[in-house]
């Protein structure tokens, strides 16, 4: 089935000379000469900007729009002396405690959550897939839960943090995990239970509004979509399109199962959290970082993912493109692997930032 998609990508701003992060988001947004499709918006930290695509059906149209958004934002950044960088975490410099935008909501978050807000300058990618019915959206989320570790495995792009190699493929996942609701969602019976859970979280103070429900997949609080938000921001637009194609096929497969009355797989919450940690720690097989050995995988892996969504990829005519994208990913390595390769050449983290800035604009 052909479902609409939209993508939000978060980026860092770095100084053109030092390559350290800079608090220039307001200047960048003011210098933006044009908006393409969706828009360019601020994040809570002034070290970041976010691009928001329009609603697309064709992945080729989405690719063109994402590339235009990245390039327009990069031009605006260059106009004020900085560069746009697609990395899940800060490579050089210290963004925290970050100066937040002067908006009442952000000040409330800082006051309520305190030091949790510090060091939260992390960049992810959110893929929205159109699911208008609220009941179906909750059931789709249930069906997507076991596949979250596979998506995270493919998208790790944050090995460095403030000048050191963490040993992780996605250190962003660990930093973001300090929020009360960050992580895989629970298995929910229906939309009514979803509403009750959100109400309880609001009442407890674990979230201050619906937007702070930081589950890795959720019914969107402001769009008729299912929002998958488990991934680091990808280095290139093609990496983002691969992630989007996989995500859309997963949602389409889940919708088919929901409408056929199939129950979602039951994966224990703690087992799923452990699998997500494994994905963040080790990433793709045979890459940098410690060996994971023969570890038990309580949730599905990448090979199983492709088999699972194969019929939807075939129906959309995207099987060849997805398999080609996966081959390129395995041959060239994940984003985290590419960052480490850039560092090994001369032992300079400045080279990592330069590589990221270049790949951010690859077309």
CATH number of 242's domain: 3.30.590.20
Residue 239 CA to residue 243 CA, distance in Å, equals 6
DSSP 185-240: PPP-SSHHHHHHHHHHHHHHTS-SSGGG--BSEEE-SSSSEEEEEEEEPPSSHHHH
Number of domains the chain is built from: 1
pLDDT of residue 294: 41
Residue 263 is given by DSSP the state: P
Its domain, for residue 184, covers 5-360
Burial label, 305 (beta-carbon count in 10 A; 0-12, 13-18, 19+): buried
Q: What is the pLDDT along the chain (363 residues), one digit of tens a residue?
A: 689 999 999 999 999 999 999 988 888 988 876 554 458 887 878 889 999 999 999 999 999 999 999 999 999 999 999 999 999 999 998 766 656 667 788 888 888 988 888 777 899 999 999 999 999 999 999 999 999 999 999 999 999 999 999 999 999 999 999 999 999 999 999 999 999 999 999 999 999 999 999 999 999 988 899 999 999 999 999 999 999 999 999 999 999 999 999 999 989 999 999 999 999 999 987 676 555 444 445 455 888 999 999 999 999 999 999 999 999 998 999 999 999 999 999 999 999 999 999 999 997
The region that residue 286 occupies, defined by phi over 0 for left and psi between -120 and 50 for alpha, beta otherwise, is left
Token output for 290? 């410690």
């Amino acid at each position: 089935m052909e479902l609409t998609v939209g993508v939000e990508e978060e980026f860092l701003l770095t100084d053109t000379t030092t390559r350290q992060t800079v608090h220039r988001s307001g200047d960048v947004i003011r210098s933006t000469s044009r908006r393409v499709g969706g828009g360019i918006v601020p994040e809570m930290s002034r070290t970041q900007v976010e691009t928001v695509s329009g609603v697309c059906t064709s992945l080729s149209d989405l690719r063109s729009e994402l590339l235009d958004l990245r390039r327009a934002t990069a031009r605006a950044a260059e106009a004020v002396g900085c560069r746009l960088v697609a990395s899940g975490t800060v490579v050089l410099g210290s963004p925290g405690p970050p100066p937040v935008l002067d908006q009442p909501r952000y000040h409330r978050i800082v006051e309520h959550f305190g030091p949790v807000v510090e060091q939260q300058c992390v960049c992810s990618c959110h893929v929205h897939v159109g699911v208008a019915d609220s009941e179906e959206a909750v059931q789709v989320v249930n069906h997507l839960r076991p596949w979250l570790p596979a998506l995270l495995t493919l998208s790790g792009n944050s090995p460095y943090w403030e000048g050191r190699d963490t040993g992780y493929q996605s250190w962003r996942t660990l930093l973001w995990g300090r929020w009360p609701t960050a992580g895989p969602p629970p298995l929910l019976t229906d939309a009514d239970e979803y509403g009750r859970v959100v109400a309880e979280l609001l009442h407890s103070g674990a979230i201050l509004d619906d937007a702070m429900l930081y589950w890795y997949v959720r019914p969107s609080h402001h769009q008729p979509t299912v929002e998958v938000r488990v991934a680091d921001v990808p280095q290139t637009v093609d990496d983002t399109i691969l992630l989007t194609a996989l995500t859309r096929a997963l949602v389409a497969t889940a919708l088919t199962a929901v409408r056929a009355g199939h129950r979602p797989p039951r994966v224990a919450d703690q087992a799923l959290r452990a699998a997500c940690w494994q994905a963040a720690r080790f990433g793709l097989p045979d890459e940098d970082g410690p060996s994971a050995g023969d570890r038990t995988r309580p949730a599905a892996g990448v090979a199983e993912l492709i088999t699972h969504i194969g019929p939807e990829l075939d129906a959309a005519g995207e099987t060849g493109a997805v398999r080609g994208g996966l081959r390129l990913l395995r041959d060239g390595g994940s984003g985290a692997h590419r960052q480490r390769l850039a560092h090994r050449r001369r032992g300079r983290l400045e080279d990592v930032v330069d590589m990221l800035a270049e790949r951010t604009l690859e077309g």
